């Protein structure tokens, strides 16, 4: 399903009739993959009424969109995939939601996710796991697995996800769709439930490259409500020639041979200079990430204490703290809070957290050095194909390694796009195009070559 196809259907049937049939169909199809946590039927009706008085020339007029359930939509539940926020109703729109509403989009539902975006398979959702649209016995990736799955299954043309260490790109790869992690600051985070504030970034997911670019253009830009957001440089939107692409030696050394062959064969079809580059610190990305991210998780999730937000259980103050968090937070969330509190504690801050921040800087400088030699860098998105449900749930370290190729890019704050490039064993395969800061349009240009 693409935006163009939906527009033709709306033109043929009319907006009200289209949604009357569409909602019935999408709810039935969703039962097969469980990508949506819930649907927003009242909001759909309200939006359709409002659209009657708006111009049909709006870029997303009448287009259905799915929203990851950690992005606030006023008057709609926002659980972040957790039981602790099961009944929380958002009191305002996230900036990205305000922008897509103004563009004429229709929010049809909120999508399933790993609890508080902590996971790589959507199995950590407090509600139910989402299934891969290409093989129901496998995971769709995570944490934006619901958003990627509903796009991959053709239930909606576009969706919003969030990416902290690969949470858009990895599920996009597993579900055979396009997924962009923008440059840190290119899209406002106002109204996104925070996991790790120096890493979190909202981004678009789409089955069609042109649709993804359109959605990115709508949501990008500076927001006074988010001090980390930035104006997207106009000079960066101008088409530029791509002369060379880099292949990091470290990313292809131990990669599955069939996967390596598929990625390289796709690149070599394009008449652009290919150069090997070295990212010597990239192998430490996972180690670095799992010190910095839990530290920020520990601080951000302190607010879910039974006093200020969400559910409450217990008698006195300390009992409320302990009982509420123990009962309503999942195991992975608790694990990361404990790790984060430890690395920030007296005597360990310098030994772990500060060293990780220095390593983060070294990873960024590694990329900068490479970009002096090449225009873009090509990497695998995932070291494996979509894995079986339950295959990695008992081994957190093995699950963490699913993001080995996505995490370093997040640490450096760089943009990266997952591009679907084919299938292995009837399962989707994606690769990442990585650009320097605000090089999204250069990435899009190269992605068009791969599409052709």
CB 237 within 8 A of CB 441: yes
* Residues annotated as catalytic (active site), given as ranges: 68, 143, 167
Core vs surface per residue 3-19: b (16+ CB within 10 A) or e? beebbebbeeeebeebb
3-state secondary structure of 271: coil
Look up the pTM and report it: 0.96
Of the options 3.90.1300.10, 3.40.50.2300, 3.40.830.10, 3.20.20.70, the CATH number for the domain spanning 1-280+379-452: 3.90.1300.10
Burial 117-156, CB ≥16 within 10 A → b, else e: bbbbbbbbbbbebbbbbbbeebbbbbbbbbbbbbbbbebb
Whole-number Cα distances in Å, 390 to 92, 139, 174, 348, 405: 36, 9, 16, 34, 22
Strands 376-380, 244-248: pairing kind: parallel
Place of tokens 């509600």: 127
Secondary structure (DSSP) of 379-404: EES-SSSPPBTTSSTT-HHHHHGGGT
Q: Residue 45, Cβ neighbours under 10 Å: how many?
A: 14
**Main-chain phi, psi angles of 424, to 5 degrees:** -130, 130
Domain ranges of the chain: 1-280+379-452
C-alpha 207 chain-centroid distance: 14
Other C-beta atoms closer than 10 Å to the C-beta of 364 total 17
Task: Quote the DSSP letter at residue 115.
Answer: G
What is the per-residue pLDDT across 115-150, written as a single tens digit (0 to 9) for each?
999 999 999 999 999 999 999 999 999 999 999 999
Q: What pLDDT does residue 315 have?
A: 86
Which H helix or E strand runs over 258? Answer: helix 257-268
Q: Is 355 exposed, middle or buried (0-12, 13-18, 19+ CB in 10 A)?
A: middle
Q: Are 61 and 8 in contact (CB under 8 A)?
A: no
Q: Give the residue carrying structure tokens 């690149």.
A: 267
| Encoded tokens for 239 | 């088409």
The pair of structure tokens assigned to 172 is: 């996009």
Cα separation, 446 vs 94, whole angstroms = 31
Instruction: Check: CB of residue 62 under 8 Å from CB of residue 106.
Output: yes
The structure tokens 């302990």 sit at 322
Q: Give the other-Cβ count within 10 Å of 72's Cβ.
A: 23
Q: State the pairing for strand pair 36-39/416-424.
A: unpaired
pLDDT (tens, 9 = 90+) of the chain, 452 residues, equals 899 999 999 999 999 999 999 999 999 999 999 999 999 999 999 999 999 999 999 999 999 999 999 999 999 999 999 999 999 999 999 999 999 999 999 999 999 999 999 999 999 999 999 999 999 999 999 999 999 999 999 999 999 999 999 999 999 999 999 999 999 999 999 999 999 999 999 999 999 999 999 999 999 999 999 999 999 999 999 988 899 999 999 999 889 999 999 999 999 888 899 999 999 999 999 999 999 999 999 999 999 988 887 888 888 888 998 899 999 999 999 999 999 999 999 888 888 999 999 999 999 999 999 999 999 999 999 999 999 999 998 888 889 999 999 999 999 999 999 999 999 999 999 999 999 999 999 999 999 998 75
The widest CA-to-CA distance across the chain, in whole angstroms, is 69
pLDDT of the residue at 452 = 59
Rounded (10°) CA dihedral 31, 35, 39, 44: -110
pLDDT value of residue 98: 98
Beta bridge partners of residue 194, listed in sequence order: none
Residue 228's pLDDT is what?
96
Per-residue pLDDT of 23-42, as tens digits, reads 999 999 999 999 999 999 99
Q: Token digits for 332?
A: 């992975």
| Whether the Cβ atoms of residue 69 and residue 111 lie closer than 8 Å to each other | yes
pLDDT at 346: 85
**DSSP-assigned states of every residue in 68-84:** ETTB--TTSB--TT-GG
Q: Give the C-alpha separation, 100 to 150, whole Å.
A: 18
Q: What is the pLDDT of residue 195?
A: 97
């Amino acid at each position: 399903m693409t935006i163009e196809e939906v527009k033709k259907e709306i033109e043929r049937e009319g907006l009200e009739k289209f949604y009357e049939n569409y909602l019935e169909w999408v709810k039935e199809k969703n039962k097969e993959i469980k990508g949506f946590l819930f649907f927003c039927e009242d909001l759909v009706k309200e939006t359709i009424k409002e659209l009657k008085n708006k111009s049909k020339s709006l870029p997303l007029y009448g287009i259905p969109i799915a929203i990851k359930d950690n992005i606030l939509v006023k008057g709609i539940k926002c659980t972040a995939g957790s039981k602790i926020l099961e009944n929380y109703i958002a009191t305002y729109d996230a900036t990205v939601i305000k922008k897509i509403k103004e563009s004429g989009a229709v929010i049809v539902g909120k999508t399933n996710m790993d609890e508080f975006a902590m996971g790589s398979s959507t199995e950590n959702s407090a509600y139910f796991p989402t299934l891969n649209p290409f093989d129901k016995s496998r995971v769709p990736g995570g944490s934006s697995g619901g958003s990627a799955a509903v796009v991959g299954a053709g239930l909606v043309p576009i969706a919003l996800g969030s990416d902290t260490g690969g949470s858009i790109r990895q599920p996009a790869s597993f579900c055979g769709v396009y997924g962009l992690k923008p440059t840190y600051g290119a899209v406002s985070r106002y109204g996104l439930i925070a996991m790790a504030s120096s890493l979190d970034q909202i981004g678009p997911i789409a089955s069609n490259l042109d649709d993804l670019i359109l959605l990115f253009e709508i949501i990008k830009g500076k927001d006074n409500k988010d001090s980390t957001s930035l104006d997207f440089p106009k000079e960066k939107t101008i088409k530029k020639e791509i002369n060379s692409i880099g292949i990091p030696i470290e990313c292809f050394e131990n990669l599955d041979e069939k996967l390596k062959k598929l990625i390289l064969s796709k690149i070599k079809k394009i008449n652009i200079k290919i150069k090997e580059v070295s990212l010597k610190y990239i192998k430490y990305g996972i180690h670095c990430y799992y010190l910095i991210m839990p530290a920020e998780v520990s601080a951000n999730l302190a607010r879910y204490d039974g006093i200020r937000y969400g559910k409450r259980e217990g008698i006195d103050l300390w009992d409320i703290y302990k009982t509420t968090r123990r009962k309503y937070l999942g195991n992975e969330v608790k694990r990361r809070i404990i790790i984060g509190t430890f690395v920030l504690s007296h005597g360990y801050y310098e030994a772990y957290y500060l060293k990780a921040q220095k390593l983060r800087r070294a990873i960024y400088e590694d990329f900068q050095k490479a970009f002096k030699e090449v225009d873009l860098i090509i990497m695998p998105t995932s070291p494996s194909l979509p894995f079986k449900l339950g295959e990695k749930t008992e081994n957190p370290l093995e699950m963490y390694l699913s993001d080995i190729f996505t995490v370093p890019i997040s640490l450096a704050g760089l943009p990266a796009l997952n591009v679907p490039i084919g299938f292995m064993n009837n399962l989707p395969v994606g690769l990442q195009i990585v650009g320097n800061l605000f090089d999204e349009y250069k990435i899009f240009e190269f992605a068009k070559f791969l599409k052709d």
